[in-house]
């Protein structure tokens, strides 16, 4: 018994030391910030003082920024442009320079589409629409390589790279559309990913490669998906987690526990999360009514969600990143997007930061050693 107890505590000590040495990344996808700045948007701290966003985020403990990249957003629909689809290579080069100069790690999010790529749509870019299917892996390779070459030349080298965005159902539809629990089109999807990863490894060998899915509330599909990619060369399992679609934090916790057991060699990052603080002027909230079952749709509800999420993530040694999606939304005095989303970290009426921002700090402060815990299997061995 004594030897077993010593072995358990020895394992816990090594776990704590390992997590403490692993830098956690905290940040957000602020892809629209340059557009807000161009519109003259004023961001304010809790006291109402105007702040410069990149400087302010650093003060809040952020050390990483995520930015999306579309193939040719000029081809996007008017509706999607009104939702924030504008990030072409020139846009990302300029913004990436600022991010790196400000001392952040830079996460590049390849959408491999001219517009939003998500579970409900993965439109093939216009430039590849009439291409032979057999040529698409080479097209992904050349496009990825060309984009990274341009970013390197612009002193905007990514530190983390997503090869695809929310691709549980595949990409470049319909030819590489998949079902995680099915078998159709998987060979092509894996080949596309392999070619994207190959370009990343060649041009940015120090960058961590992320494969991003959005079924954090469905372990069977999440497990099946990453099982298909056992032979793929990547570093991080990236998850979207939104309580309005993926249920309460406890469901995410079960997925994180299972990932640690089934994919112990992979880091896990929450590359997208957000929660409502209002539904005012929000044309995207339809169908999210069940969200109120878990967290109140209010400023305090958003804070409570963030507190519970950070506390849960700190219990998982495999989780190394947390990114809020669209935190820069600030409709006060401008019209950058058509309608309000109300999931940002600034009040759409006043421009002042919301309390959830303060809660995010706990992911990187205090030190990670305070946030570690033993695995259930270790404790049961005593």
Question: Is 12 a domain residue?
Answer: no
Residue 206 is part of which domain span? 63-234
pLDDT tens-digit map of 223-263: 999 999 999 999 999 999 999 888 889 999 999 999 999 99
Tokens of 94: 């300029």
Statement: residue 146 has pLDDT above 50: yes
Mean pLDDT, residues 294-309 taken together? 94
The pLDDT value given to residue 162: 98
Q: Are 213 and 168 in contact (CB under 8 A)?
A: yes
Question: Is 117 a domain residue?
Answer: yes
Question: Is 257 a domain residue?
Answer: no
Statement: residue 211 has pLDDT above 90: yes
**In angstroms, how far is CA 226 from the centroid of its own chain?**
17
Mean pLDDT, residues 292-313 taken together? 91
Average pLDDT of every residue of the chain:
90
Question: Is 336 a domain residue?
Answer: no
Percentage of residues in the chain with pLDDT exceeding 70? 87
pLDDT tens-digit map of 8-54: 334 434 444 444 446 899 999 999 999 999 999 999 999 999 999 99
370 band by pLDDT with thresholds 50, 70 and 90: very low
Whether residue 221 is preceded by a cis peptide bond, meaning omega within 30 degrees of 0, is no
What is the full DSSP assignment across 169-203? TEETBTTEE--TTS-TTHHHHHHHHHHHHHHHHHH
Q: Are 63 and 104 in contact (CB under 8 A)?
A: yes
The pLDDT value given to residue 339: 85
The pLDDT value given to residue 7: 43
pTM of the shown model: 0.90
Q: Which of 4-18, 83-97, 222-236, 327-341 has the lowest mean pLDDT?
A: 4-18
**3-class SS at 266?**
coil
Mean pLDDT, residues 367-372 taken together? 49
The pLDDT value given to residue 286: 58
The pLDDT value given to residue 333: 76
79 band by pLDDT with thresholds 50, 70 and 90: very high
Tally of domains in the chain: 1
Question: Is 211 a domain residue?
Answer: yes
Look at residues 190, 186, 171 and name the one whose alpha carbon lies nearest to residue 231: 190
Statement: residue 182 has pLDDT above 50: yes
Mean pLDDT, residues 174-182 taken together? 97
Statement: residue 382 has pLDDT above 60: no
Give the Å distances, CA to CA, from 220 to 224, 238, 309, 370. Answer: 6, 16, 22, 31
The pLDDT value given to residue 293: 61
Read off the CATH number of the domain in which 206 is found.
Answer: 3.20.20.80
Mean pLDDT, residues 267-296 taken together? 79
Question: Is 92 a domain residue?
Answer: yes
Look at residues 108, 115, 4 and name the one whose alpha carbon lies nearest to residue 64: 108
Question: Is 104 a domain residue?
Answer: yes
Statement: residue 365 has pLDDT above 90: no
pLDDT tens-digit map of 97-135: 999 999 999 999 999 999 999 999 999 999 999 999 999
Question: Is 48 a domain residue?
Answer: no
């Amino acid at each position: 018994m004594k030897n077993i107890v010593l072995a358990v505590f020895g394992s816990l000590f090594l776990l704590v030391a390992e997590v403490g040495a692993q830098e956690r990344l905290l940040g957000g996808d602020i892809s629209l910030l340059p557009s807000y700045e161009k519109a003259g948007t004023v961001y304010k701290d809790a006291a109402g003082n105007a702040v410069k966003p990149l400087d302010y985020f650093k003060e809040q403990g952020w050390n990483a920024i995520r930015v999306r990249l579309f193939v040719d957003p000029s081809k996007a629909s008017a509706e999607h442009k009104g939702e924030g689809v504008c990030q072409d290579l020139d846009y990302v080069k300029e913004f990436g320079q600022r991010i790196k100069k400000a001392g952040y790690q830079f996460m590049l999010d390849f959408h491999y589409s001219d517009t939003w790529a998500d579970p409900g749509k993965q439109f093939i870019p216009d430039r590849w629409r009439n291409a032979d299917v057999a040529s698409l892996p080479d097209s992904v390779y050349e496009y990825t390589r060309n984009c990274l070459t341009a970013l390197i030349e612009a002193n905007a080298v990514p530190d983390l790279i997503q090869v695809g965005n929310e691709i549980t159902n595949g990409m470049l539809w319909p030819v590489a559309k998949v079902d995680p629990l099915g078998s159709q089109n998987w060979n092509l999807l894996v080949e596309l990913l392999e070619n994207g990863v190959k370009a990343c490894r060649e041009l940015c060998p120090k960058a961590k490669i992320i494969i991003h899915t959005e079924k954090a509330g469905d372990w069977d599909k999440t497990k099946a998906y990453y099982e298909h990619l056992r032979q793929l060369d990547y570093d991080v399992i990236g998850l979207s987690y939104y309580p309005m679609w993926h249920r309460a934090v406890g469901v995410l916790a079960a997925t994180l526990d299972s990932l640690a057991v089934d994919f112990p060699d992979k880091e896990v990052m929450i590359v997208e999360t957000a929660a409502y603080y209002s539904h005012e002027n929000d044309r995207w909230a339809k169908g999210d009514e069940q969200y109120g079952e878990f967290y109140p749709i209010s400023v305090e509800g958003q804070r409570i969600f963030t507190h519970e999420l950070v506390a849960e993530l700190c219990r998982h040694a495999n989780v190394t990143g947390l990114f809020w999606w669209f935190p820069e939304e600030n409709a006060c005095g401008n019209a950058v997007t058509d309608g309000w989303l109300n999931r940002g970290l600034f009040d759409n009426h006043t421009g002042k930061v919301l309390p959830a921002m303060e809660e995010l700090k706990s992911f990187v402060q205090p030190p990670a050693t305070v946030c570690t815990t033993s695995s259930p299997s270790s404790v049961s061995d005593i």
